[in-house]
Structure 1
Amino acid sequence: MTLAVFDKIISDRGSRYAVSGGPARSREDVQALLAELKRNKRFAKATHNTWAAMLGGEAVRDDDGESGAAQIIQQMLERAGLDNHVIVVTRWYGGKHLGGDRFRHVVDAVRHYLAQADLSAGA
C-alpha cells in the first residue's frame, strides 16, 4: 500500500493542515494506512486525523473530533468517483477557532490531494 502525504499545505490562524491518502480495499487497509501515517510522530500528535473512504461503493469515515469534516471528504470522494481509496485530512489546532473556514480548508485539502495525486476525475 502506498500512502501519499502532502504536508503543510494550508495555514490559518495558527492551525496547519496536511492531506494524505492511498488505495484501500477494506477497513483493515484503512487502519493500516492510518497506522503508517501515525508512525510519523508529527501526525500521531495532530489534533485531528479526519478520514473517509469508499470501499467497494460503501462509505466509511471518522471525524476524529472534527465534527462534520469526514462527511465532506466522503462527498468529494463520491463526486470524484474514487472507489477503494481513503483520504485523511490532518489538522494541528492553532489556538483560534476557525468557524466555517475549517470546512473550506477540508475542501481545499481534498482538492489538493486529488490534483496532486492526479485523481480529480470529477471533483
Structure 2
Amino acid sequence: MTDPEFLQIEQVVSDRGSRYAVSGGTVQGRAGCDAFIARLKQHRKYAKATHNSWACLLSDGGPVKNDDGESAAGAVILRMLERADLKDTIVVVTRWYGGVHLGGDRFAHVVTCVRAFLAEIGK
C-alpha cells in the first residue's frame, strides 16, 4: 500500500495500562487534516481517547502538528514524516491513558506507532 486514504492500526503498543494505536491517510491542505481528525473521532473510542497527536507535511503549506495534550508528540511524528519525505499524509498516534505516567517511554511508543504506519505503506 503506497497511498493510504484511511488506514488504522489498532493496539500497536500496550505499556502499564496505556494503549497506543496509529491512523493515517492522504490529505490536501490543513482543511484535509481537520477533516481527517473529525472522521477519526466519529469512532467513539477515538473520540474518547486521552490524546490524538498528529502531524502532516503539507506540500502546499509546510509542516503542521498538534500534540493534543501529549507534549512534543506531534514534533516526534513530524520529524519522522520529514525523514521519510512523506508529504500530504497525516499520521495520528492515539493514546488511551492507563493511569501510570510513562515518562520518556511515551516517545518510544510514538516512534513505534509511526514506524508501524510507515512500514504498512511501504516507506
Common fold by TM > 0.5: yes
Q: How far, CA to CA, are the matches of 1:25 and 1:55 in structure 2?
A: 7
Aligned to 2:65: 61
TM-score by length of 1: 0.94
One-letter code of the match for 1:70? G
Select which of 88, 92, 95 maps to 2:92: 88
SS in 1 for 2:23: strand
Q: How many residues align?
A: 119
Aligned to 2:18: 15
Q: How far, CA to CA, are the matches of 1:41 and 1:8 in structure 2?
A: 16
Is 1:32–2:39 an aligned residue pair?
A: no
One-letter code of the match for 1:21? G
SS in 2 for 1:29: helix
One-letter code of the match for 1:18? A
Could you tell me how far 1:24 is from its partner in structure 2? 1.1
Select which of 102, 107, 116 maps to 1:98: 102
One-letter code of the match for 1:101? D
Is 1:43–2:75 an aligned residue pair?
A: no
State how 1:109-120 maps to structure 2 within 5 Å: 109-118=113-122, 120=123
SS in 1 for 2:94: strand
TM-score by length of 2: 0.94
Select which of 44, 57, 76 maps to 2:80: 76
SS in 2 for 1:33: helix
Tell me, which stretches of 5 or more residues in structure 1 are unaligned? none
Runs of 4+ aligned residues of structure 1 deviating over 4 Å after TM superposition are none
RMSD: 1.1
Q: How far, CA to CA, are the matches of 2:40 and 2:11 in structure 1?
A: 15
SS in 2 for 1:31: helix
One-letter code of the match for 1:64? D
